[in-house]
Amino acid sequence: MIVSDKSSFFRVLQWQQQHIVRFLLLGCAAYTIVEVFGLTFLRLPLLPVSIIGASLGIFVSFRANSSYDRWWEGRKLWGRMINMSRHFASQVIACLPKECGTEMVYRHIHYVHVLRVSLRGEAVQDDKEIRRTAARLSDELQISTNPAFDGLQKQMNELIAARGDTDLDGFAFQQIEDTLRELIHIQGGCERIQKTPLPISYRYFSEAIIYIFAALCPFALLDGLGVLAIPISALLSFCFHLISETGRVLENPFSTFWNGLPLNQISIMIEQNLLQALQEDDLPPTVEPFAPGVLM
């Protein structure tokens, strides 16, 4: 996620230069057809095109709003992950023997990194943070269809074994179990967002209507603006395209694109907090929320 002030409108233009060129070419084509070849009967009244533009604005804004809702829900889920991670560490450190509690905290740190990588569709075995945190565990890193859930399952098995081997009372056991259940809900919510994209018809129809508007708009502006209809119609079409593109890039909040949630920073922060709860000094360095993107 980008938190730099180096972004600018000119970088946005560079990012979307292909679409800008297409919009300008459509305007030039309309000007050539009407003014150069004299096909003046193709000029359009402004009202119908204005109605299309108003309808298009509603459509692309709906897509952008829907995508932002997904992005914000993903951020809230990872906010709950931060809180429940701290709570889980406090519970197991206070209620379980030191060796067992420390192992469960280490495993939870490893779980957070595994979930981050899984949501981004990356290879678990290739992530350096996962290899580093796995070195603390007595478990071997195993490849499965859902390695993050496997981590929670191991936590539950460890908790049940600890209840049989220690004097952990039923109330404390239930409280820790409730925390693990909440972690499962958080993971399930993230996976729901990741595996349920917006219907493809949103993107298809918005892009199609934008180009229909871009083709018709200069024919409606030529009467009053002349050659200025070319850049103005391109600017109007580009504004609609940017709104639609905003919806596209916000649709997956777990991506590594510039709009994605800063999962690396959040994961490292959780690790730092939990290691400090264990009174350890060897903490990983803080990571700035940055992902290389076209706007930097």
Whole-number Å distance between alpha carbons of 281 and 60: 50
Q: What is the pLDDT of residue 91?
A: 96
Whole-number Å distance between alpha carbons of 196 and 68: 14
Q: Cβ contacts of residue 51 below 8 Å, gap of 6+?
A: none
| 264-287: average pLDDT | 94
pLDDT in tens, 74-121: 999 999 999 999 999 999 999 999 999 999 999 999 999 999 999 999
| For the chain, percent of residues with pLDDT exceeding 90 | 68
Q: Where are the alpha helices (DSSP H) in the chain?
A: 9-15, 17-31, 46-95, 98-119, 128-134, 147-165, 170-195, 200-225, 229-250, 263-277
Q: What is the pLDDT of residue 142?
A: 64
pLDDT in tens, 197-254: 888 888 888 899 999 999 999 999 998 888 999 999 999 999 999 999 989 889 999 9
Q: Which of 133, 100, 81 is nearest to 254 (CA)?
A: 81
Domain extents in the chain: 9-277
The DSSP 8-state label assigned to residue 44 in this structure reads: -
Is residue 284 pLDDT above 80, yes or no? Answer: yes
Is residue 187 pLDDT above 80, yes or no? Answer: yes
Q: What is the pLDDT of residue 137?
A: 87
pLDDT in tens, 5-44: 455 667 777 778 899 999 999 999 999 999 888 888 889 9
Q: What is the pLDDT of residue 2?
A: 45
Q: What is the pLDDT of residue 294?
A: 40
Q: What is the pLDDT of residue 5?
A: 46
